[in-house]
Amino acid sequence: MLVNKIAGKRWLLPVLTLAALMCALIGAKAVCNDTDWDEVQDDVDNCVENFNPGQQDEDGDSLGDPCDDQTPQHEYKFGPCYRANWSEFSGWGWEDIKTIIDPIGPGRFALTLRFPDIGGDTIEKGPGQENGRDIWGMTQWIGVEFATGTRFEATMTEANDAGYVTHFEGPYVFLVCNNCDFNVIWEEQWRGTMTGDIMPADYCGVEPIDDDTTVPGDDDTATDDDTTPDDDTTPVNDDDAVDDDAADDDANDDITDDDQDSGDDDNNDSSACGC
């Protein structure tokens, strides 16, 4: 067994199989012509730059969905914060990985995986793609003489009433690089299934999304209308049924209003001529 250290953790690396060892010796992988580590060789991979073992191509244009800006979009949304777990990852420091999704354009986002170690210094970052149902990510962390990388493809399996994906899962691969001072040459460490579960924004330490929905319990602020529609006309919507505008003409306030509107709900109406 080989012993390595990742950001203050010590763990055991399984002895490489003969096939994997041969690929490592020539600077390649289990599939020796596989740029994105999805076990699909580059000459037949429909998206060489992104980990997509499923080879999904919804519009049938021979370009894999994570590489295709024209791929069909679905109706679901991804939130800013998820708790991810990866099969083969176990024990403190490897579970409940904070997964931060920061949109940067249609179907594109910056992805951060924050492993829960003591110093908080194992933070992988990289690009991500999504199509309103499926999600792809490729991240890495480069340390001193050591590096880690994660690739995954997942599909939503659950969503809430507001249309946010609450659970997704799919295949992943976890990579390591030993003694990589000047040249990162990855070796496969683990491969399995990952899951992601939506969490409140403060779990990941990010700002909530104010989406002005009508779903109780969302992360909206007091200036939106996520509960009972406010019936007043003031700039600030206080989400209650009691009107707080003494100058308007609805039926819930204005008990001391002396405007000249006979259609107002108070008892102090007067004519425009002052009669």
CB contact at 8 A, 259 and 246: no
Query: Are the beta carbons of 55 and 46 closer than 8 angstroms?
Result: yes
pTM (two decimals)? 0.66
Interatomic CA distance for residues 173 and 185, integer angstroms: 15
The span from the CA of 153 to the CA of 145, in Å, is 28
User: What is the C-alpha to C-alpha distance for residues 229 and 240, in angstroms, rounded to an integer?
Assistant: 7
Nearest to 166 by CA among 50, 106, 255, 81: 81
| DSSP label at residue 48 | T
Half-sphere exposure of 26 (CA within 13 A, CB side): 11
Residues facing 196 on adjacent strands: 84, 168
CA distance 230 to 216: 15
Tens of pLDDT, residue by residue over 204-235, are 988 887 655 545 445 455 445 444 444 455 54
pLDDT of residue 32: 66
Q: Facing residues of 110 across strands?
A: 102, 127
3-state secondary structure of 208: coil
Taking the C-alpha atoms of residue 50 and residue 137, their distance in angstroms, rounded to an integer, is 8
**CATH number for the domain formed by residue range(s) 74-204:** 2.40.128.30
* Whole-number pLDDT of residue 56: 93
Q: Measure CA 108 to chain center.
A: 11
Domain range list for the chain: 74-204, 228-266
In contact, 152 and 51? CB cutoff 8 Å: yes
Residues of the chain with pLDDT under 70: 1-32, 90-93, 117-121, 210-275
Residue 268 φ/ψ region, left for φ over 0, alpha for ψ in the -120 to 50 degree band, beta for the rest: alpha
Containing H/E element for 219? none
Q: For residue 106, how far is the Cα from the chain centroid?
A: 14
Which CA distances in Å does 227 have to 136, 175, 199?
34, 46, 21
- Terminal C-alpha separation, the chain: 99
- List the structure tokens of 188: 């496969």
167 sits in which H/E element: strand 165-178
Rounded distance between C-alpha atoms, residue 156 and residue 84, angstroms: 13
According to the model, what pLDDT value does residue 103 have? 93
Reduce the DSSP state of residue 66 to 3 states and report it: helix
